[in-house]
Structure 1
């Protein structure tokens, strides 16, 4: 599919039939377009102009859909944030990105943030989205995505997943994260139906899958595990269950495949407008989940083969952000000559597939040996009966690091230790084991890796 010349030229809202379903209510494309036009009029009358940014809470989710598309029509940008975010954090985000307006959906009104007029009128880059990164293992930043980033991502994703008119995408990811907010763009471009839910509730998702002929679904691994725990089976209409946001363990993937789920593993990040690679549908017995498919077309990757020394993934192309936000919204922060360097180590297989090897900062030196936390977690995830797994490192005066295996599931610490003794080298073996259930999650549904590590380190007496 050839890309459209510009964001404005793309056939947004050209679909027929249902555009949005929320609970018992449904809106056709024409009806939803009218509501978006009304929201656009409110924004224009309040003083919002092209090039400015409006911060809005991610709930009610239906209200955010109207805001998302109204701002796109105006050439202004949306900055969705978690509803209920503390005022102090909001103020920091507003100042850090030079946000001009905040929206209160309870009274349907805008508030100017006090941005200096000269600064507001001289923004150098047209933006569509500002999205705070999840911060699952580091300090969150704000990615600035342009209209061309959003369009390119939606086009490529729709082509990879076969999203078309008549399809139904059940959306349960928080729209203050890139994986959630992107779905509305994809459906509006494809002429598909957006089946919207107010966040992830496993029982509600199961009911939604049974209530309509859903064709597409996006989940992070803990959500998939929760649905499997409920005994939820995929409907015959479901063609794509896209899993991303964090590494998918082999045991969880195989469990879902055995239950009939049409799994597609995806890999991406906020800085690239969501996924940049997605596997075809998995089937049968699988040996690994680190393969994430071929990269998007027209995307450059500075990366070696899997027989070479692993290095950090560098990406350049149409989906790569303008840069991290700053008060002037100056482009280029975090970008070097158009290249964005991810935090993950990766390589290309001989077949041209992208293999993700874990985060660059996951490699530790234990007793003089290089040890990969990601490899240990992947090996432990193969153990029958184990659930989520996280390796936390503690300082050790002799070995440099002492590893703690944090896990969920019915297995005992002794069983996990025995498994490690049989499958890991000496430096890789954890020296302590902690069962934790449930694992704490971020708003995005990902494991709160930093929070779990802090919990273990605060309890360590040594």
Structure 2
């Protein structure tokens, strides 16, 4: 099947214009429309095809929204690599009503979590659009297929690096061919990718560089909590805590004594006591334990399905 949106995107990609207009996700700011050169899109697609060793005729599945770069680039990869592309409407369980296996599929984390029992039908799976919880990673770690978590953004024309979730070094991202990386004075990743039209793109992602083409993602610079001079990375601590039975995130609030105080925000209609989650904090260091627990009825989610921490925190304050 092909939705109207998919057909429109394919027509636009094949027309005579050199650019396509794509909307950013809005996960760290207001969504905006940017122009992307089609030659750069083809270069990005070829990088992924080469990195994963995909071949002509391989069966691929598009189950992400065609309105954003992740879905658009699945179509471009299929066109460039002559893949056999099946298209379904985005849903939590895209494989549920499909028959057979697939060589290549891209999903967002919530689709992966809902499709655990069907993932064995996918030879090579890439996961994008947000972080993967530690509990989901535990479920994926021993699966026999190739499962990758991707790093990238609309401005880099989807991913520029991947890490093998069920590999021997499952924390380290490896860049795709032709990608150059370093970090700036903040410790944030800077990307150079001539084939993608990307030059000195400074991100807000704090990283630990392993070598010229590998890095470990620590978290967002704008999410760092400075508590009594100790810099805490909420995303890294969240991975240690794992699943608590409720959607949650860690953040900092102003504190007269420490400057900032690390707190946990839980999506719930009911108030939560610290003791409720005490067992989940046992693996944390002294400064990593949240000082308070707050609840909000509903988190703010962007159009592309990502948590908007800043707006959720504003809602909590209100």
- Structure 1 length normalisation: TM-score? 0.61
* 1:40-439 matches, cutoff 5 A: 62-76=3-17, 126-127=18-19, 129-202=20-93, 204-208=94-98, 211-228=99-116, 232-236=117-121, 238-258=122-142, 262-280=146-164, 282-283=166-167, 290-292=171-173, 294-303=174-183, 311-321=187-197, 338-350=199-211, 352-381=213-242, 388-407=247-266, 413-420=274-281, 423-426=284-287, 428-434=288-294
Equivalent in the alignment of 1:443? 303
Q: CA deviation at 1:363?
A: 1.7
Question: Where do 5+ consecutive residues of structure 1 fail to align?
Answer: 1-21, 23-60, 77-125, 323-337
Deviation of 1:438 after TM superposition, in Å, equals: 8.0
Structure 2 equivalent of residue 122 of structure 1:
none
Give CA-to-partner distance per residue, 1:387-416, whole Å, 9 cap, x none.
Answer: 65411322222222233213579x985252
Distance 1:446 1:224, change over 3 A: farther
Q: Secondary structure in 2 aligned to 1:239? A: strand
Contact 2:206 2:221 in 1 (8 A): yes
Please tell me whether the aligned partners of residues 166 and 192 of structure 1 are also in contact (alpha carbons under 8 angstroms): yes
CA–CA distance in 2 between the matches of 1:227 and 1:256?
Answer: 11
Distance in 2 between the 1:206 and 1:438 partners?
28
For residues 33-59 of structure 1, the C-alpha deviation after alignment (integer angstroms, 9 at most, x for no partner) is xxxxxxxxxxxxxxxxxxxxxxxxxxx
Structure with a larger share of its residues in strand: 2
Question: Is 1:244–1:267's contact at 8 Å kept on the other side of the alignment?
Answer: yes
CA RMSD, aligned part only? 3.0
| Cα deviation, residue 274, structure 1 | 0.4
> Residue 440 of structure 1 contacts residue 448 of structure 1 at CA under 8 Å; is this kept in 2?
yes
User: Secondary structure in 2 aligned to 1:215?
Assistant: strand
Please give the secondary structure, in 2, of the residue aligned with 1:298. coil
Q: Give CA-to-partner distance per residue, 1:173-195, whole Å, 9 cap, x none.
A: 11111111110010011111221
Displacement of 1:157 in angstroms is 0.7
Q: Secondary structure at the match of 1:69?
A: helix
Query: By how many angstroms is 1:280 displaced?
Result: 4.3
Shift of 1:216: 1.6
8 A Cα contact 2:179 2:191, kept in partner: yes
Structure 2: segments with no counterpart, 5+ residues? none
Instruction: Report the TM-score when normalising by structure 2.
Output: 0.86
Instruction: Look up the match of 1:119.
Output: none
Counterpart-to-counterpart distance in 1, 2:189 and 2:275: 37
On the 8 A contact 1:174/1:443 being kept in 2, the answer is no
* Displacement of 1:352: 4.3
In 1, Cα distance between equivalents of 2:7 and 2:194: 26
Alpha-carbon shift at residue 418 of structure 1 (Å): 4.2
In structure 1, distance between residues paired with 2:139 and 2:163: 18
Confirm or deny: 8 A CA contact 1:172 1:197 kept in the other structure: yes
How far has the Cα of 1:341 moved from its partner? 0.9
Q: Please report how far the alpha carbon of residue 386 of structure 1 lies from its aligned counterpart in structure 2 after TM superposition.
A: 5.0
